[in-house]
Homo-oligomer: A and B are copies of this chain.
Amino acid sequence: MLGNFEYVNPTKLYFGNKSLDYLQKELLKYGKNIVLIYGGGSIKKNGIYDQVLEILKACDKNVVEDAGVMPNPTSDKLIEGAKIAKAHKADLLLAVGGGSVCDYAKAVSVSAYCDDDPWEKYFIRMENIDNPVIPVGCVLTMVGTGSEMNGGSVITNRRVNRKIGRVFKEDVFPKFSILNPEYTLTLPKYQMVAGFFDIMSHILEQYFSGEDDNTSDYVMEGLLRSLIHSARIAVKKPQDYEARSNIMWIATWALNTFVAKGKKTDWMVHMLGQSIGAYTDATHGMTLSAVSLPYYYHILAAGLPKFKRYAVNVWNVDPNGRTDEETAKEGLERMRAYMEEIGVVMHARELGLTEDMIEGVADGTFILKGGYKVLSRDEVVDILKASL
């Protein structure tokens, strides 16, 4: 049932292969001091860095750089970025990169004027933001996380091997995001398909929870069908602009809060995957692909009607002549074949997870209660073993 909820999403999006043309218009809304945030420097190779810098210069901005944001941004890097932003009296944090860079920029935006340790205050104690927040704008170069249009931010503390996600309120959402599908065309295939599976997992985490009679479930079936269709094309033809642009759009809507409104959500696949990521530093989407089927088989009996619906409405399984369980399992087997087709990692050992890490990974796995079955720690261990 649709409960009581608030919905607002103030992020302005510019979409398409001309979308960078609108950066100047947005920059003019902010003061002179900009922190340009990016990752490992791939934007220097593909020319995006130069284009953005040219626009910043044309707007006469006073730019400092905060580079080297890692795929799993760390709490140490966050402290460093917060200092840079504060020292620069930043009027805008301009994130140019994928979800990690956007996530990190949002974390910096709430941390720059935080007098406490922001990891402790905002990620461990999950306190409300009580200091000024610096506006964030994004130029997205990888799809997957939906970070370009939400308040999500995932930070990893390497000292305690903890990777924690937090969803901030709308004042931390990016003010604007520039989504140019062409920027995603140069991504190596491994990262590309990891992003595709991350999107799929975002939808499934919100789909496999709650009652069946919810508009969001119908919308998510549509998003899944579109994603499956376009990702198949993109894996064969990575330069297919149409497929890549649809995927970019799906990624945004999979996690900009819309489909979660008024329904329960699960997120246990992300809890398992993030804990593996904290130990192995593996690519996020691949940690999700490695644990998804072991987890879904584990909870299948508890959520049978939804798994059956998934099989029929998303994977076109004919339920006639099959028990509900057979239908549901056939759905998961078609999902497995699809995952193998697009080339995601099916076994966590390929990500560096070893048997002796499993107890530690289980310790680092938050157990959430929104799914069809609340796991015990023993069940977490079983699922992790099955994912190897």
Interface residue ranges, A against B (CB under 8 Å): 1-19, 22, 181, 213-215, 217-223, 225-226, 229-230, 241-242, 245-246, 249-250, 253, 258, 261-262
Contact = CB atoms under 8 A, between A and B. Distances in A.
Given A8-B13, A217-B226, A221-B222, 20 more contacts: A1-B241, A1-B242, A2-B15, A3-B16, A5-B16, A6-B14, A6-B15, A7-B12, A15-B262, A16-B262, A213-B229, A213-B230, A213-B242, A218-B225, A218-B226, A219-B222, A222-B222, A222-B223, A253-B258, A258-B258
Most buried by B among A1, A214, A226, A242: A226
B11 A8 contact: yes
A258 B14 CA distance: 13
Nearest to A13: B7
Q: Which of A2, A223, A262 has the most CB of B within 10 A?
A: A2
A210 B54 CA distance: 36
Given A7-B13, A13-B8, A215 B249 contact: yes
A331 to B, nearest CB: 17
A247 to B, nearest CB: 8
Contacts of A230: 213, 215
B226 A2 contact: no
Contacts of A262: 15-16, 245, 249
A226 B245 CA distance: 26
Nearest to A3: B16
A1 to B, nearest CB: 5
Nearest to A2: B245
Nearest to A11: B8
Contact of A6 (B13, B214, B218): B13
Contact of A15 (B5, B9, B16, B222): B5
Contacts of A181: 2
7 contacts: A1-B245, A6-B13, A6-B14, A6-B15, A213-B230, A220-B222, A249-B262
A306 to B, nearest CB: 15
A-B residue pairs, 9 tightest by C-beta: A4-B16, A222-B222, A218-B222, A218-B226, A8-B12, A2-B245, A7-B13, A215-B226, A219-B222
B12 A6 contact: yes
Nearest to A6: B14
A56 to B, nearest CB: 21
A309 to B, nearest CB: 11
A157 B258 CA distance: 37
Contacts of A10: 8, 10
Given A218-B226, A262-B249, A7 B2 contact: no
A22 B2 contact: no
Contacts of A218: 222-223, 225-226, 229
A5 B17 CA distance: 10
A345 to B, nearest CB: 26
A243 to B, nearest CB: 8
B4 A17 contact: yes
Contacts of A9: 9
A15 B245 CA distance: 31
A11 B9 CA distance: 8
A219 B225 CA distance: 9
Q: Which of A14, A16, A218 has the most CB of B within 10 A?
A: A218
